[in-house]
Amino acid sequence: MNEGQDWIYSDIVKDHFLNPRNFLFGDESKFDFDAVGVVGNPICGDQMKMYIKVKNGKIEDIRWKTYGCASAIASTSALSELAKGKTLDEVVNISAKDIDDYLGNLPKHKFHCSVLGHQALADAVKKYRAE
């Protein structure tokens, strides 16, 4: 896992877990979004929603909600930072690896189950474009 450190995840994961960025706290009507995408299933232990506000083909603002473990929360938080200000074409190409690189590599067994937010983001973009 995180050998040599005193916490199970890296410092940057810990920071995004303890101080998550851009989360949507409480009722989703508090954020004026253009589209929302979803991925995952609570039965499997992780579910994420990405809410996007689009202006001039770019992500002007973004919020998320997550039900999941520490790396699920941290990876969604990291994704929201990665996506902000980018064009829709750019954000649909954000991969799990990009999120993992940003966070300084999650433990392998966490990677597949908790780095899912980019799929929710792509889903949101698809829904926005379909409108």
Would you call 113 a catalytic residue per the annotation? yes
44 is catalytic: yes
For 126, residues 6+ apart whose C-beta sits below 8 A from its C-beta are: 37
Asked if residue 33 binds other proteins (CB under 8 A), the reply is: no
**Rounded to an integer, what distance in angstroms lies between the CA atom of residue 131 and that of residue 86?**
20
| 12, 23, 84, 111: residue in contact with other proteins (rule CB under 8 A) | 23
Separation CA 110–CA 11 (nearest Å): 16
Question: Binding to other proteins by residue 51, rule CB under 8 A?
Answer: no
Distance in Å, CB of 87 to other proteins, minimum: 26
- Interface ranges with other proteins (CB under 8 A): 8, 17-18, 20, 23-26, 38, 40, 42-49, 64-73, 109-110, 113-114
